[in-house]
C-alpha cells in the first residue's frame, strides 16, 4: 500500500481543522522539516477551488466556494497587503478607515485619539483594494 504524501496529509488535516496556525502544523507534522511543511501548505492552497487564507501572522483558515463572508477585525492600514494578496477576489470589501472629518473634532469634541489617514494614504489604499474585486478578467 502506498504511503500518503505530506501534501495529502496536509489536505486531510486542513480540511478537518479549517483553522490552524503554523505552530500547530509543525507540531502535527514534526517528522518533516518546517520549510517542507510550509512549501506543501502553499501547494495545498490550490486544492479543489478552496483557498487557504492567512488571517493573521501565523494563522490560516481554509475557505471554499461556499464562503459567504469573511469578517476580520484588523487595522486596515496594517492588514491591507495580506488582504489583497490572499489569492481571493471579493464582491464587497467593507473597510472602516480612520479618516478626518469635522464631526470628529470641533468645539469641545475630540473623538479621534488614533492616527488618521491622509488623502494620499486613501488613494494608495484604494488602488490596492481595486485589485481584489471580482471581475471577469481576474476570475
Q: Within 10 A of 37 (CB to CB), how many other CB atoms are there?
A: 18
pTM value? 0.41
- Domain limits, CATH 1.10.10, in the chain: 6-63
Q: For residues 83 and 56, give the distance between their C-alpha atoms in angstroms, rounded to a whole number.
A: 10
Average pLDDT over residues 69-97: 69
Q: For residues 22 and 62, give the distance between their C-alpha atoms in angstroms, rounded to a whole number.
A: 13
What does CATH list as the number for 6-63? 1.10.10
pLDDT given at position 124? 81
51-56 vs 59-63, strand pairing mode: antiparallel
Query: How confident is the model over 8-59, as pLDDT tens digits?
Result: 888 788 778 777 788 888 999 999 999 888 888 767 655 555 566 666 666 6
Q: For residues 63 and 138, give the distance between their C-alpha atoms in angstroms, rounded to a whole number.
A: 18
Amino acid at each position: 500500500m502506498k504511503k500518503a504524501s505530506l501534501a495529502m496529509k496536509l489536505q486531510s488535516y486542513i480540511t478537518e481543522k479549517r483553522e490552524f496556525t503554523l505552530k500547530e502544523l509543525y507540531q502535527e507534522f514534526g517528522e518533516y522539516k518546517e520549510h517542507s511543511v510550509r512549501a506543501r501548505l502553499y501547494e495545498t492552497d490550490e486544492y479543489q477551488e478552496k483557498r487557504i487564507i492567512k488571517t493573521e501572522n501565523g494563522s490560516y483558515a481554509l475557505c471554499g466556494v461556499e464562503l459567504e463572508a469573511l469578517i476580520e477585525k484588523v487595522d486596515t492600514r496594517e492588514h491591507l497587503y495580506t488582504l489583497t494578496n490572499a489569492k481571493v477576489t471579493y464582491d464587497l470589501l467593507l473597510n472602516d478607515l480612520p479618516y478626518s472629518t469635522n464631526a470628529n473634532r470641533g468645539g469641545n469634541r475630540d473623538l479621534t485619539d488614533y492616527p488618521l489617514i491622509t488623502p494620499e494614504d486613501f488613494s494608495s489604499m484604494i488602488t490596492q483594494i481595486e485589485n481584489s474585486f471580482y471581475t471577469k478578467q481576474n476570475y
